[in-house]
Structure 1
Amino acid sequence: MDVKQVFDSLARQVEPPSTVNVNRAMAAGRARRRRRRAAVAASSAVGVAAAVLVAWSVQPWSGRQNGVVATVPSVTSSPRPVYKGFAEMKKKYPPKGKVASVPPLMMWVSDSPRKGGLLLCESGPSGSSCASFPPLTGKEFARTQGRGKDIWFGVAKGEVHGVTAVTKGGRKLPANLERDVGAGLGLWAIEYPPRTDVLRLVITDANGRTLQRIAVSRA
């Protein structure tokens, strides 16, 4: 075997099984790097968008749209209902203090045309009216001043913190009570389910102690 044959034999033994295209490999590497950078950029953009969305959702929205500053109003309590005759009655008999919201009624105390007298005014689903009432006596802490369909309402002294209707079956129905409305009085109203058999009203102080019991006429 001559030298050329030996060299050719050795070259075939050390030659790699396939030929690598260097230009193609470099192009593939660049493509992989571009895809990796694009994926990282997209991930960062999604993260920033999510952070902005969270920040926007937990903050009160205030901004300028079409040149106008707009602010989302804060959540407030439901407005008081306005019943028929309320405005007229309030104007004719101005509150001696404030108008009390004692659902389902709006109530207030006003001066009576009679000197030194008081009026209890109420406005509800059935309309609006005012009626005079005598002062509470020394032994009275509260009094029923009116009765509508499935409702009682009345006045109470400042010591009163609770008015509760007790049914024949022992069920207790607490009144809506607003204290210090005017003229040293609080006002209360109890709305009860139809055909409820109420026996009495229990008047209590801040500690739950019974101040007075009022028997209720079922007539």
Structure 2
Amino acid sequence: MDVKQVFDSLAREEQPPTAVDVNHAIGAGRAMRRRHRAAVAGITATVTVAAVVAAWAVRPWPGQRDGVAVAVPAAPSATATPRPTYKGFAELKKKYPPKGKIASVPPLVMWLSDAPRKNELFLCESGPNGSSCSGFPPLAANEFARTQGKLRGIDVWFGVAKDDVHGVTAVTKDGGKLPGNLTRSVGAGLGLWAVEYPSGADVRKLVVIGARGEILQRIRPQ
């Protein structure tokens, strides 16, 4: 039985009799379905566009964090020179010009300078106790780092290291570890390090660490 026959049958059974234009009813039904599909498609498209816009708005692009725009700081200059105010710094810098860059290695400011003696360098340091320079010969083939001195009053060991070194840690008698500060590639293929420790701490050794965390050398401070 086709649709027209169904409508004719229903129309005859209804009381009171009702005149029904089957063809018109079928056409109206098809038009209504087309309008419904168009409305659903329009709503879906609107929701999709809104979702895309919302996703784009919250995407963490450079300069955004958690959907909120933030200022992106400029990368620090690798050759930035600190401006310390330690006593004697300006005079020492003038007398022993830096060979490379000046390094901030808390609690000190340090640099390398040419020494009068051939194949030697000066390590110059400036800190709360004042400023000074001392000469040292090149590191031996099996040396990765060397202590250049110990400052009392601020309790710090400091020295030089080859660029293979990525860290220097002080180890105390009771096994405590005090990581130091290191600035690599200061000049002449060397970096500079400093390890500050609490007053009265019994530092028994300095452990020199490589790029993968391996131990390159152990130094017994004198």
TM-score band (shorter)?
A: 0.5 to 0.7
CA distance in 2, matches of 1:115, 1:175: 31
Q: Is the 8 A contact 1:166 1:173 kept in 2?
A: yes
CA distance in 2, matches of 1:160, 1:125: 26
SS at match of 1:90: helix
CA distance in 2, matches of 1:211, 1:81: 32
Q: In structure 2, what is the equivalent of residue 90 of structure 1?
A: 93
Are 1:173 and 2:178 counterparts? yes
CA shift digits 1:109-159 (9 cap, x unpaired): 000012332100000111101111011001100000011111100000010
Q: Is the 8 A contact 2:205 2:221 kept in 1?
A: yes
CA shift digits 1:45-86 (9 cap, x unpaired): xxxxxxxxxxxxx999xxxxxxxxxxxxx9x9xx64310000
Aligned amino acid, residue 92 of structure 2: M
Alignment of 1:127-206 (within 5 A): 127-149=130-152, 150-206=155-211
Aligned amino acid, residue 164 of structure 2: E
1:215 to 207, 211, 220: 220
Gaps of 5+ in 2: 1-68, 77-81
Q: Which runs of 4+ in 1 moved over 3 A?
A: none
CA distance in 2, matches of 1:177, 1:204: 11
Aligned amino acid, residue 140 of structure 1: E
CA shift digits 1:6-42 (9 cap, x unpaired): xxxxxxxxxxxxxxxxxxxxxxxxxxxxxxxxxxxxx
Q: In structure 2, what is the equivalent of residue 109 of structure 1?
A: 112
Q: Alpha carbons of 1:168 and 1:92: their partners in 2 closer, same or farther (altered >3 Å)?
A: same
TM-score (ref. length: structure 1): 0.63
CA shift digits 1:159-210 (9 cap, x unpaired): 0001000011111101110000001000000110000011100001010000
Larger radius of gyration: 1
Alignment of 1:51-90 (within 5 A): 80-90=83-93
Gaps of 5+ in 1: 1-57, 61-73
Q: Alpha carbons of 1:59 and 1:200: their partners in 2 closer, same or farther (altered >3 Å)?
A: closer
Q: Alpha carbons of 1:128 and 1:59: their partners in 2 closer, same or farther (altered >3 Å)?
A: same
CA distance in 2, matches of 1:59, 1:119: 44
CA distance in 1, matches of 2:192, 2:166: 11
TM-score (ref. length: structure 2): 0.62
Q: Alpha carbons of 1:59 and 1:145: their partners in 2 closer, same or farther (altered >3 Å)?
A: closer
2:127 to 117, 124, 127: 124
Aligned amino acid, residue 110 of structure 2: M
Q: May I ask how many residue pairs the two structures share in their alignment?
A: 145
Report percent identity of matched pairs: 68
CA distance in 2, matches of 1:80, 1:173: 27
SS at match of 2:213: coil
